[in-house]
Chain A
Amino acid sequence: MRTRRIARDTLLGYALVIPTLSVFAIFFIYPLVYSLILSLYEWDMLSPPFYVGLGNYVEMFASRFFFQTLVNSVNYTVGVLVLALNLGLVLALMLNKPSKHSAFFQACIFSSYIISWVAVALLWVWMLDSQYGLVNFALSLIRLSPVDWLGDVKIALSSLVLVSTWKIVGYPMVIFLAGLRTIPADLYQAAEIDGASNWQKFRFITWPLLSPITLFLMITLMIMSFQAFDIVRLMTQGGPYYATEIFVYYIYETAFLYSFQIGSASAAVVVFFLIIFVLATLQWKVLRKKVHYL
């Protein structure tokens, strides 16, 4: 009787998870394995593939262009991370007291986060236009000379960092706010009784208790900005002079844009995945620790 029940449960269990698992097998795990295999070949999707071993990897790491792409990706990622994290924290601290205007400001700031990157990118290309753009007009009002936001090699990547931060800052803000709500109010009351200043309360209560969330957000934002693509494709196409060429755009270009270099693109995909994998593993560890900690 009992064995029959176990057998029936087993059957039912598998029947319920098999649809999900087969989707994952076909659309997640198979592509990963296939990328690994493709990365060992040279293939333009027209003539038959040609085995080159690790040739694609060697070529990639030897190329200055790929190196430049990596540097750009790191700069972009770190830029967005530093700006969004700090601004998010400052905003969360300012909005922590529940009130009507707090909810209003939160909604204003978070709204950009749910707007499509397409709309954001097109809007900012227009506003950053070096001749007719609103931003340069605003600068002219305070007697500053116009800036070529997207056309200047030295500035273009920073412009993308600013626009991205503008779009996503609501996200760290909301997460920090959720974190602040978990800090028990009596800690602050006790500190007040001891005569602690605002800065001391932040330094010795808020900051340490928020640190797991800060760490978590750092990794999440890193993964998020490392995957950026839309903004580059729509605002700069990697230019000027490859100043905004970043990782995913590089993969896209290699695979599809000018010629189909499936092998080289797959090698880049594999490296890209390894980086995401390391970051995600770190994140998982942090998350575990946090659950333990709270």
Chain B
Amino acid sequence: MNRARLLGIVVLVFLTTFALIEVFPYLWMAMGSLKSLKEINRFPPTIFPSSFLWENYVKAWQSGPFPRYFLNSFIVTFSILGIQLFLACMAAYAFSKIRFPGRDFLFYVVIMCLIVPPQVRFVPLFIMFSKVNLINTYFPLVLPYATSALGTFLIRQAFMDISDDTIAAAKMDGASTLRIIFRIMAPMAKPTIVAFSLFSIVYHWNEYFWPLVMTTDETVRTLPLGVAMLREQGTGARWHIIMAGNMFVVVPMLVVFAFVQRTIMRSFTMATMK
């Protein structure tokens, strides 16, 4: 056997082991979510549940206002995305295709906002929103993310690649500015917009920190918070229920990932390489 083949085998063994370490915990979670309380605390553990207890999912679902959490997660994630895209397309058009005094400075200000993480903003914003009595509404969850420096930046890059002739032609046809932005430019920048949207959806669907610090009751709490709270309530290690709850957060993302895996990986590369 030559050295290249040996190396090939070593690489394959390493990769298989590593992929297993990455994927097996999810299978373990899925198996755990179907076991009984007795079986989940058994040592040594069993891999497959002796009987599949689908009612764990019902129990998890009824341990808190889960329909509410789901709805809140959807509302928050997609309101953020909608507003972000709307504002970012308009700003990106101005920053790429219109000349006006102070443009480059203002764009620099936008870029600077990339480096102000939520952890820096939550104390003053909590105070601000509680002063106007908006804690426990959707506003503190959505508005601070209403615009994305990253989105503005990426869409501007995409708009810059579109030739001025396209815009001139549209203007000759009497198209309004908004029509040019949303009916002509945005469809041409579709790959960028899709990539950014996926990035935004994954981020806000999974977000835990921001809804945690911006809510004090159940009204607008999102799914990750609800699942995290499964652990704080009840007694003992009800890991089968917690794992069933975990599946509520994980499965939607994995389904999305399964369908648009390439695009998601590209969008995360793009989001950081710029």
Binding site for B on A (CB under 8 A): 6, 9-10, 12-14, 16-17, 19-21, 23-24, 27-32, 34-35, 38, 45, 91, 94-95, 101, 104-119, 122-127, 129, 131-132, 134, 137, 140, 166, 170-171, 174-175, 178, 198, 216, 220, 227, 229-230, 233-234, 248, 251-252, 255-256, 262, 265-266, 269, 272-273, 276-277, 280, 287
Contact = CB atoms under 8 A, between A and B. Distances in A.
Residue with the highest number of chain B CB atoms closer than 10 Å, among A123, A171, A273:
A123
A116 B147 contact: no
Given A116-B253, A118-B206, A13 B103 contact: yes
Contact of B87 (A20, A38, A273): A20
A119 B227 contact: yes
Given A118-B224, A119-B250, A230-B208, A19 B231 contact: no
B210 to A, nearest CB: 10
Contacts of A118: 206, 208, 224-225, 227-228, 246, 249
Given A12-B98, A132-B43, A17 B120 contact: no
A271 to B, nearest CB: 10
Interface residues of B, number: 87
The 7 closest A-B pairs by CB, nearest first: A13-B100, A116-B206, A16-B94, A31-B124, A280-B115, A34-B124, A20-B91
28 contacts: A13-B103, A20-B110, A20-B147, A27-B121, A31-B125, A38-B123, A95-B15, A111-B22, A112-B22, A113-B268, A114-B202, A116-B253, A117-B206, A118-B224, A118-B228, A119-B249, A123-B26, A124-B25, A125-B231, A126-B243, A129-B237, A175-B269, A175-B273, A233-B208, A255-B123, A272-B119, A276-B120, A280-B114
A117 B91 contact: no
B213 interface: yes
Nearest to B3: A198
Nearest to B269: A178
Contacts of B254: 111, 115
Contact of A13 (B18, B98, B246, B261): B98
B272 interface: yes
Given A27-B121, A265-B123, A114 B21 contact: no
B30 to A, nearest CB: 11
Contacts of B125: 27, 31
B15 A94 contact: yes
Residue with the highest number of chain B CB atoms closer than 10 Å, among A23, A112, A171, A262:
A23
Contact of B257 (A13, A19, A95, A111): A111
B24 to A, nearest CB: 9
B120 A105 contact: no
A170 B90 CA distance: 34
Nearest to A118: B224
A280 B114 CA distance: 9
Contacts of A198: 7
Interface of B: 7, 11, 14-15, 18-19, 21-23, 25-26, 28-29, 32, 40-45, 87-88, 90-91, 93-95, 98-101, 103, 106, 109-110, 113-117, 119-128, 143-144, 146-147, 149, 152, 177, 202, 205-206, 208-209, 212-213, 224-225, 227-228, 231, 237, 239, 242-243, 246, 249-250, 253-254, 257, 261, 264-265, 268-269, 272-274
Contacts of B209: 229-230, 248
Nearest to B231: A122
Given A35-B124, A38-B123, A114 B257 contact: yes
B99 A114 contact: no
Given A27-B143, A216-B273, 12 more contacts: A20-B90, A114-B253, A114-B264, A116-B206, A118-B246, A119-B227, A126-B32, A132-B45, A166-B21, A174-B265, A174-B268, A280-B115
Nearest to A13: B100
Residue with the highest number of chain A CB atoms closer than 10 Å, among B87, B95, B213:
B87
A176 to B, nearest CB: 10
Nearest to B247: A119
A13 B94 contact: yes
A46 B4 CA distance: 71
Contacts of A13: 94, 98-100, 103
B106 to A, nearest CB: 6
Given A12-B98, A113-B268, A122-B246, A251 B119 contact: yes
A77 to B, nearest CB: 14
Contacts of A108: 19, 22-23
Nearest to B125: A31
Given A20-B147, A114-B264, A126-B32, A277 B123 contact: no
